[in-house]
């Protein structure tokens, strides 16, 4: 697994579905607009061309058949180029002399073959002309007529028409993009809601994700995920039940063995047997402790319907913890002290029992791993603007390499004092995290020993 690292997509295949859709839609629309414009340029080009040709013929015929001879209206270049006005030329019957023309600047001779032709008067823009030369008349003196129109004007007209055809599609593009944006946004909103649902799951009792607002396309994924969740839930439950049952079943016989050992103590002869007996007793005590920790752990893993959160004054809680662990401190002749804050009150909203398991385990460790006759300090104070609880001892501390692993279940630093099960810190950390707290362990800089610091949540959780 690559830990959720996301690769960046190529520009034409971005990771975001929305960008991908938008990109393709824009390309598709622009392509359609260009194609439509091109098709209509070809189709309308012909249409415009034929229509204008017909007009040219009609104009020529109206001049050729007029008696007395109609003379063309004079015009300028602007009319010829911009408005595509027809230029009419009246030639003598033999076609040699130009008798009249609407625009004398244009010199195009009378074409030999009657009908339509294309003439170029130069290589510059606007020098191409469409020409219609009327047939010679039946009378010998009947003048010849030729009509011309600028070719560029005709092309421009066809082009304008074609562009107008492509315009609706181009105008539709922003609208289509907007609709797409709205649809994709709605879909990703529902996906985000599913993600939020997943993120807010209690890992102890994952619940089914709602399919209510999930789009059909994504529903199979969510259903499959729900399926997985229910399997995970039942696997968790089986495992938890097993640990709980096993620990529970072991508890009674272990307690009976403990009692028997206590009863036997009076009958053990002095010498090597006492030594062995003591080892046996320590072993049983250790096993009993391990069973208790396992029970604690499995209870912690169990789903907690409506955690009984309450307003807990941390100072009061710590004083209780210290006084309850005083038996252990006395047994090990450890001097344990508590220092509370001057004025402020640190409050956490959480089940008191869970908070107790955090501090009990840390203080228990400090008392166990401090040397006989050592010193343990529990301090509640403010650090960098938020409340912290420090538990300090003057024991061996934890080797730097092992400090990251001591929170693992069953991990014990080799050579540690006997009696522990390696579960205390795992229990403490789970409870702390659940209620917005953080445990930090570091070896003290001011001498031997460990400092366990609990950062309390800065706002009530």
Ligand X SMILES: Nc1ncnc2c1ncn2[C@@H]1O[C@H](COP(=O)(O)OP(=O)(O)OP(=O)(O)O)[C@@H](O)[C@H]1O
Residues at the interface with Mg ion (CB under 5 A): 365, 424
State the nearest-atom distance from the C-beta of 366 to ligand X, in Å. 5
Report the chain's C-alpha Rg in angstroms: 49
The rounded Cα 457 to chain-centroid distance in angstroms is 28
- Residue from 396, 436, 444, 453 touching ligand X (CB under 6 A): that is 396
Asked if residue 424 binds ligand X (CB under 6 A), the reply is yes
Query: Residue 111 or 285: which CB sits closer to ligand X?
Result: 285
State the nearest-atom distance from the C-beta of 319 to ligand X, in Å. 20
Query: Residue 206 or 420: which CB sits closer to ligand X?
Result: 420
- Residue from 398, 437, 439, 454 touching ligand X (CB under 6 A): that is 398
State the nearest-atom distance from the C-beta of 198 to Mg ion, in Å. 34
- The widest CA-to-CA distance across the chain, in whole angstroms, is 160
Tell me how far apart the alpha carbons of residues 459 and 455 are, in angstroms, rounded to a whole number: 12
Q: Which stretch binds ligand X (CB under 6 A): 110-118, 177-185, 242-250, 393-401?
A: 393-401
State the nearest-atom distance from the C-beta of 360 to ligand X, in Å. 9
CA geometry: angle 272, 276, 280, nearest 5 deg: 165
Query: Residue 390 or 393: which CB sits closer to ligand X?
Result: 393
Query: Residue 161 or 289: which CB sits closer to ligand X?
Result: 289
User: How many residues sit close enough to ligand X to count as binding (CB under 6 A)?
Assistant: 23
State the nearest-atom distance from the C-beta of 348 to ligand X, in Å. 21
Tell me how far apart the alpha carbons of residues 2 and 102 are, in angstroms, rounded to a whole number: 82
Asked if residue 371 binds ligand X (CB under 6 A), the reply is no
Asked if residue 425 binds ligand X (CB under 6 A), the reply is yes
Query: Residue 423 or 456: which CB sits closer to ligand X?
Result: 423
Positions 264 through 303 that interact with ligand X (CB under 6 A) = 289, 293
Q: Which pair of tokens denotes residue 178?
A: 């907007």
Packing angle, helices 352-369 and 424-434, rounded to 10: 150
Query: Residue 348 or 426: which CB sits closer to ligand X?
Result: 426
State the nearest-atom distance from the C-beta of 246 to ligand X, in Å. 17
Query: Residue 363 or 387: which CB sits closer to Mg ion?
Result: 363
Say which entry of Mg ion, ligand X, none residue 393 contacts (CB below 5 to 8 A, set by partner kind).
Answer: ligand X
Positions 310 through 369 that interact with ligand X (CB under 6 A) = 361, 365-366, 369
Q: Is residue 394 within 8 Å of residue 447, measured between CB atoms?
A: yes
Query: Residue 36 or 361: which CB sits closer to ligand X?
Result: 361
Positions 6 through 35 that interact with ligand X (CB under 6 A) = none
- Residue from 131, 380, 413, 431 touching ligand X (CB under 6 A): that is 413
Asked if residue 59 binds ligand X (CB under 6 A), the reply is no
Tell me how far apart the alpha carbons of residues 368 and 332 are, in angstroms, rounded to a whole number: 8
Tell me how far apart the alpha carbons of residues 92 and 100 are, in angstroms, rounded to a whole number: 9
Say which entry of ligand X, Mg ion, none residue 146 contacts (CB below 5 to 8 A, set by partner kind).
Answer: none
Asked if residue 420 binds ligand X (CB under 6 A), the reply is yes
Asked if residue 432 binds ligand X (CB under 6 A), the reply is no
Say which entry of ligand X, Mg ion, none residue 423 contacts (CB below 5 to 8 A, set by partner kind).
Answer: ligand X
Q: Which pair of tokens denotes residue 445?
A: 């800089």
Query: Residue 59 or 425: which CB sits closer to ligand X?
Result: 425
- Residue from 422, 436, 444, 448 touching ligand X (CB under 6 A): that is 422
Asked if residue 412 binds ligand X (CB under 6 A), the reply is yes
Q: Is residue 295 within 8 Å of residue 251, measured between CB atoms?
A: yes
Say which entry of Mg ion, ligand X, none residue 366 contacts (CB below 5 to 8 A, set by partner kind).
Answer: ligand X
Which residues contact ligand X by CB under 6 A?
Answer: 289, 293, 361, 365-366, 369, 393, 395-398, 406, 412-413, 416, 420-426, 450
């Amino acid at each position: 697994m690559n830990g959720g690292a996301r690769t960046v997509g190529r520009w034409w295949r971005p990771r975001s579905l929305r960008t991908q859709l938008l990109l393709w839609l824009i390309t598709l629309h622009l392509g359609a607009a260009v194609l439509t414009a091109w098709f209509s340029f070809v189709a309308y080009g012909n249409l415009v061309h034929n229509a204008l040709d017909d007009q040219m013929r009609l104009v020529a015929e109206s001049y050729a058949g007029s008696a007395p001879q109609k003379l063309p209206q004079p015009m300028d270049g602007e009319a010829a180029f911009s408005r595509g006005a027809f230029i009419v030329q009246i030639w003598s019957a033999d076609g040699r002399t130009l008798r009249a023309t609407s625009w004398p600047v244009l010199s195009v001779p009378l074409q030999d073959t009657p009908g339509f032709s294309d003439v170029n008067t130069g290589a510059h823009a606007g020098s191409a002309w469409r020409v219609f030369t009327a047939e010679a008349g039946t009378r010998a003196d009947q003048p010849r007529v030729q009509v011309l129109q600028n070719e560029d004007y005709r092309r421009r007209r066809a082009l304008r028409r074609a562009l107008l055809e492509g315009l609706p599609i181009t105008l539709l593009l922003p609208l289509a993009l907007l609709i797409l944006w709205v649809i994709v946004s709605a879909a990703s909103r529902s996906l985000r809601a599913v993600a939020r649902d997943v993120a807010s799951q209690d890992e102890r009792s994952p619940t089914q994700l709602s399919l209510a607002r999930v789009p059909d396309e994504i529903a199979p994924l969510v259903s499959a995920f729900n399926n997985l969740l229910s399997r995970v839930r039942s696997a968790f439950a089986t495992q938890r039940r097993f640990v709980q049952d096993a620990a529970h079943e072991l508890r009674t016989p272990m307690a009976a063995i403990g009692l028997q050992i206590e009863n036997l103590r009076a009958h053990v002869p002095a010498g090597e047997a006492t030594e062995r007996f003591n080892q046996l007793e320590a072993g049983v005590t250790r096993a009993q402790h391990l069973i208790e920790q396992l029970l604690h752990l499995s209870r912690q893993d169990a789903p907690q319907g409506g955690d009984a959160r309450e307003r807990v004054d941390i100072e009061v809680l710590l004083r209780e913890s210290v006084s309850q662990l005083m038996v252990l401190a006395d047994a090990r002749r450890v001097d344990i002290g508590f220092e509370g804050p001057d004025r402020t009150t640190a409050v956490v909203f959480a089940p008191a029992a869970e908070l107790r398991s955090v501090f009990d385990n840390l203080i228990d460790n400090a008392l166990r791993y401090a040397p006989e006759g050592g010193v343990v300090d529990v301090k509640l104070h403010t650090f960098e603007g938020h409340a912290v609880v420090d538990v300090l001892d003057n024991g061996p501390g934890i080797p730097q390499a092992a400090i990251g692993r001591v929170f693992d279940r069953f991990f014990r630093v080799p050579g540690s004092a006997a009696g522990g099960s390696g579960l205390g810190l795992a229990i403490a950390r789970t409870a702390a995290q659940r209620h917005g707290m953080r445990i930090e362990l570091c070896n003290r800089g001011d001498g031997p020993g460990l400092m366990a610091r609990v950062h309390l949540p800065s706002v009530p959780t």
